[in-house]
């Protein structure tokens, strides 16, 4: 059943192209590893196991890493009420609802499809936002589920993960291998595996970042269209981004591995170069897009993010 979230053909096209390119890269990567490591069974079994684990258990892994727990309507009636209203408006299945006991103000959605999705918000986010702002953030996350880009990002990030693991595996195998293995041929294979893995990681990194930035803009637009309140979402963005900049750096580092899934990245203000490799558009770009949408809708209430 299709949801009422506004479809985004550009997002669908970008997801398809990204998955196609990553698929080609993945096949080439596996083929290169088989040639270099001379073990079809080892490479295929490890790759399949990691892909399966990431696809089927991504929601559990993310919740565990972010100290999230599923909550019932009795435990969080206000949060469930907001999700219920949005899902009814969007005509989509209600995902499981979770809360992370973190001061970092953020939210994320994860899961392989709409029937196995989880939307998680932090206590820091709920404490800082008004109801309309919280609705905007949750509508943003639900649009990721409806557009299926959560599953795409989960699968797409797999290649970078396995490339990194291969680098570590090759390093420790060389480091702790027996003396007989440390000959010239082994060293050449070791360096080749490292080089191929590094190249694959770099390419997948850039492809995922490009898709991630666009999908955030698409989710902002879809959320604002569903709620008809772009200024509420803009206000939430301004509040959350400003507060994240004041969170201690050591606390941000623990959450940065999940930046691609967050409503807004767990980073302070970045340089122009850093923004090119960010998982999200700049705050200014997101607010500008919401201001344009607010003008299109003729929304009352002045500038987005204002009072």
Residue 80 tokens, joined = 């469930």
Tell me if 201 sits within 8 A of 104, measured CB to CB. no
Burial of 43 (0-12, 13-18, 19+ CB in 10 A): buried
Bridge partners (DSSP) listed for residue 68: 100
Annotated binding site for Zn(2+): 140, 144, 216
Residue with tokens 């941000």: 252
133 is catalytic: no
How far apart are alpha carbons 274 and 184 in whole angstroms? Answer: 39
Concatenating the DSSP letter of every residue in 202-245 gives HHHHHHHHHHHHHHHHHHHHHHHHHHT-HHHHHHHHHHHHHHHT
How many CA atoms does the CB half-sphere of 62 hold within 13 Å? 29
Q: In angstroms, rounded to a whole number, what is the distance separating the alpha carbons of residues 26 and 30?
A: 6
Q: Which residue has the tokens 């999940």?
A: 258
Q: Which residues of 83-115 are buried (b: 16+ CB within 10 A; e: fewer)?
A: beebbebbebebbebbbbebebbbbbbbbbebe
Contact criterion met (CB below 8 Å) for 130 and 107: no
What is the Cα–Cα distance from 201 to 203, expressed in whole angstroms? 6
- Known binding-site residues equal 140, 144, 216
Among 133, 135, 141, 299, the active-site one is 141
Residues 6+ apart with CB under 8 A from 97: 70, 71, 76, 79, 80, 83, 118, 119, 120
Q: Which two tokens stand for residue 167?
A: 């680098």
Active-site residues: which are they? 141
């Amino acid at each position: 059943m299709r949801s009422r979230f506004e479809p985004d053909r550009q997002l669908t096209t970008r997801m398809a192209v990204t998955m196609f390119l990553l698929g080609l890269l993945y096949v080439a990567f596996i083929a290169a590893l088989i040639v270099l490591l001379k073990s079809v069974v080892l490479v295929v079994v490890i790759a399949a196991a990691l892909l399966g684990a990431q696809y089927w258990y991504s929601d559990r892994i993310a919740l565990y890493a972010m100290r999230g727990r599923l909550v019932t309507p009795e435990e969080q009636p206000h949060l469930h009420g907001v999700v219920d209203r949005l899902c009814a408006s969007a005509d989509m299945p209600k995902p499981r609802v979770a809360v992370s006991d973190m001061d970092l103000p953020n939210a994320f959605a994860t899961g392989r499809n709409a029937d196995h999705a989880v939307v998680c918000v932090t206590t820091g986010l709920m404490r800082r936002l008004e109801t309309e702002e919280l609705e905007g953030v949750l509508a943003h996350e639900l649009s990721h589920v409806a557009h299926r880009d959560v599953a795409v990002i989960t699968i797409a990030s797999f290649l970078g993960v396995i490339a990194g693991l291969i680098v570590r595996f090759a390093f420790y195998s060389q480091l702790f291998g027996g003396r007989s293995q440390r000959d010239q041929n082994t060293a050449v294979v070791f360096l080749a595996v490292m080089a191929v893995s590094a190249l694959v990681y770099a390419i997948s990194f850039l492809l995922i970042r490009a898709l991630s930035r666009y999908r955030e803009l698409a989710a902002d637009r879809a959320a604002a269209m569903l709620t008809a309140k772009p200024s509420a979402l803009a206000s939430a963005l301004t509040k959350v981004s400003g507060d994240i900049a004041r969170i201690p750096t050591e606390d941000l580092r623990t959450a940065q591995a999940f930046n691609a899934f967050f409503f807004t990245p767990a980073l302070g203000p970045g340089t122009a170069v850093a923004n090119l490799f960010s998982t999200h558009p700049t705050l200014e770009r997101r607010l500008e897009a919401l201001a344009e949408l607010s003008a299109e809708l003729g929304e009352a209430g002045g500038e987005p993010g204002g009072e």
